[in-house]
Structure 1
């Protein structure tokens, strides 16, 4: 990590921040809790190469943050309330980030890593599989944290594919198809897409070699990409 820039979400007491700062050239650490920010600043608890930013991570201009830094990694201990939106936000930065490592609830990790056909397979599973390589580094029991949470956690690392599977402007249209399909999981693919306003979904499914009677959870990520490309041409 020497020479790297790290963006940390959730400074807390600064324990991880200090460890990151000892390994990286600089750390930008983001904390939303005003009391923690005051304590960290008053007691000078962070090293000189760690910049503390009092902000809501979901309200930040992430592209601007990343543009200012080379070889950037993100490290985050994500509360459940912001895990899904921030995980989605990071996908838009995949061309600028080396990787991101996140501590999340285990059920969220299960969704990210879910295989087609499984109950946990979701729109986020599809988008992540198309954009990054995922690895669950470890699961952590509640007793490893203080205060002890009511859920189990997982530490997951995402690394952008070295050869992009999506064009620069393809993630948004793929997401439209994926969310429409998973938004009506009990409906057939054609009916779910038709209900979301996609034109002639049965014909588009046929052109992609996909059974229009299938349901979203049975489709591989590449099938959604094929559908999105065909809808864009229609």
Structure 2
């Protein structure tokens, strides 16, 4: 990886970081290699990279993958990426906001698709939600995110980290924490620790529900009011008292419990029994 350091490129082009875009570029080569290794990129893969920065990670991905499509929002980075990666004929750059991209257009007929992302922390959750709920056919998402968010994603029931994001991700994926990353691995240094986490897409969702939208509504409502019992938290569903009582009884769940004590399967049982009563 000699001669292609993030610091060198930033200096070469006089690149100025945009605070509003939450830009923090990786300067630690061991982290770059751990992301590539963790994502298990090989010559069969189309890799979609979100947030390539100045292309240091992109270069390593290009060496291993069949093709890399990088999505970058910042206009100032486009000419840098085009210049620095011009030797690769398996590279495509899309200048767009990843939240507005139709990933299926990029994926096309590709069979093996991996997503790699080093995202500004403020867009982490919306991007993960878009990728998981958008019916996109990818195998895994290897992503660098704020330590607290990674802990929430991988959290087990009955912990303070467990919440609606845990339910969303674990419904669709297996989670594996690859490594921790200290603030000194970036320029400029963020104030928080980061974690590289891999989300492996399950062939089928982890639990069977009749109505996914209702499942996520119930889990969101349950965590929106953490201090409240499930009975109170689910009042926004506007179900008649008798029906709600019946729903809890059919699911075998005590309405006095709090949302954070329920497993994904228990949320599924509750959703399915309420769904039946709403028909």
TM-score by length of 2: 0.78
8 A contact 1:111–1:125 mirrored in 2: yes
CA 22–89 in structure 1, closer or farther in 2 if over 3 Å, else same: same
Q: Which of 42, 45, 51 matches 2:85? A: 45
Moved more, 25-34 or 64-73: 64-73
The size of the alignment, in residue pairs, is: 233
8 A contact 2:54–2:81 mirrored in 1: yes
**Root-mean-square deviation over aligned CA pairs:** 1.9
* Residue 9 (structure 2) aligns with: none
Runs of 4+ off more than 6 Å: none
* Residue 263 (structure 2) aligns with: 220
CA 159–93 in structure 1, closer or farther in 2 if over 3 Å, else same: farther
* Residue 161 (structure 1) aligns with: 202
Unaligned runs of 5+ in 1: none
- CA radius of gyration, larger in: 2
Q: Which of 139, 142, 149 matches 1:101? A: 142
Give, in whole Å, the separation in 1 of the partners of 2:198 and 2:135. 13
Secondary structure of the equivalent of 1:119?
A: coil
CA-CA distance at 1:10 after TM superposition: 0.4
* Residue 117 (structure 2) aligns with: 76
CA-CA distance at 1:198 after TM superposition: 4.1
Secondary structure of the equivalent of 1:214?
A: coil
CA-CA distance at 1:22 after TM superposition: 0.9
Give, in whole Å, the separation in 2 of the partners of 1:211 and 1:168. 20
Moved more, 178-187 or 70-79: 178-187
Unaligned runs of 5+ in 2: 1-41
* Residue 32 (structure 1) aligns with: 73
CA-CA distance at 1:76 after TM superposition: 0.2
8 A contact 1:63–1:93 mirrored in 2: no
CA 2–169 in structure 1, closer or farther in 2 if over 3 Å, else same: farther
* Residue 11 (structure 1) aligns with: 52
What is the CA deviation profile of residues 185-232 of structure 1, one whole-angstrom value per residue up to 9, with x for unaligned ones? Answer: 221101111234245323211110111011111111111111222222
CA-CA distance at 1:117 after TM superposition: 1.0
Matched, 1:178 2:219: yes
Moved more, 202-211 or 100-109: 202-211
